[in-house]
Structure 1
Amino acid sequence: MSFQFKIIPNDDLDIIIPLVFQLNEGRVSKAVLKSRFDEMKHQNYECAVIYNDDEIIGVSGLWYCTRHYAGKSVELDHVYIHPNHRSKGLGKKFMDWIYSHVKEKGCCSMELNTYVQNYPSHKFYYNEGYEIWGYHFYRNI
């Protein structure tokens, strides 16, 4: 296995749709994901992926902004590694690569949301040095 971490061009975001579809357990259709990624590629967004040879097996969106309480920041979004490649240290390596990448871009902090019921991710992020600072509220309009 030959793993490679990289930022894909925003014009190639369609290639991550199958993984993000898996992450959302089919709650968001592939057509809707395509439409949303078509909008996102024109925003302050980058997409990091993990390649295993020629197959994408991991993904994380990176949203850049400046926050009054944290300075230049990046928010990780839709972080997902295919289940066949979990619990092998790959997530740690991916996070280390992302940390280096965003630090080079001048970021001072990283944030993310994780689903309340996703206990394995909570443990992982605690081990990566993240702290819970609050709750993420959502309202459909």
Structure 2
Amino acid sequence: MSKLNIRRLYKEDINTFLPLIQELMGNRVDKATLTSRFKDMFEHRYECYGIYVDENLAGVFGLWFATRHYCGKTCEQDHVYIKPEYRSMGLGKQIFKWIFDYAKEKGCTTAELNSYVENYPSHKFYLNENYVIKGYHFLKQLD
């Protein structure tokens, strides 16, 4: 079995993880815009992690920490992405176990996330991890 290692990444590491975020987003947002957004995100209770398999960057995910009126202290998983060649190896279960353990250490009582509507494989995975669908995520572009 390959050795999994999860390492915290910082805004100085942006060029390491940004190509994976662009893959996840289908290159819909240019590099300069994403760089600016991530620099801002790092200033607001956001943490980024690289997923390494045998020292190779295999994926990336972000975590947001907040206290919300409807669920208490929570850890929101953001932009969870594993490169295609590393999928179906059981990494997802290992990564989410790491996330849940880490969130509990930080005092979180819930975990939450958003998933693109068309990302059916992730929906199956999240439901198998005992997430429940609680609502819809609405987005309005402001001119």
Give TM class, smaller chain.
over 0.9
Q: What aligned pairs does 1:1-16 form with structure 2 within 5 A after superposition?
A: 1-16=2-17
Letter in 2 for 1:72: K
Aligned position for 1:19: 20
Alpha-carbon separation, structure 1, partners of 2:3 and 2:100: 21
Unaligned 5+ runs, structure 1: none
Which blocks of at least 5 consecutive residues in structure 2 are unaligned? none
- What are the superposed Cα offsets for residues 74-108 of structure 1, whole Å, 9 maximum, x if unpaired? 11111100010111111111010111111101111
User: 1:22 and 1:132, CA in 2 relative to 1: closer, same or farther beyond 3 A?
Assistant: same
> With structure 2 as the length reference, what TM-score do the two structures score?
0.93
Give the residue type in structure 2 aligned to 1:129: N
Q: Counterpart of 1:87 in 2: which secondary structure? A: coil
Q: 1:79 matched to which residue of 2?
A: 80
**How many residue pairs end up in the alignment?**
141
2:32 match: 31
Identical amino acids, percent of aligned pairs = 50
1:59-78 correspondence runs (5 A): 59-78=60-79
Residue aligning to 1:127? 128
What is the aligned partner in structure 2 of residue 118 from structure 1? 119
Code of the aligned partner of 2:95: F
CA distance in structure 1 between the aligned counterparts of 2:14 and 2:104, rounded to whole angstroms: 23
Distance 2:135 2:36 in 1: 30
CA-based RMSD of the aligned residues comes to: 1.2
Matches of 1:29 and 1:54 in 2, distance apart?
A: 28
* Contact 1:46–1:62 (Cα < 8 Å) also in 2: yes
Whole-angstrom distance in 1 between the partners of 2:25 and 2:61: 13
Q: 1:52: how far off?
A: 1.9
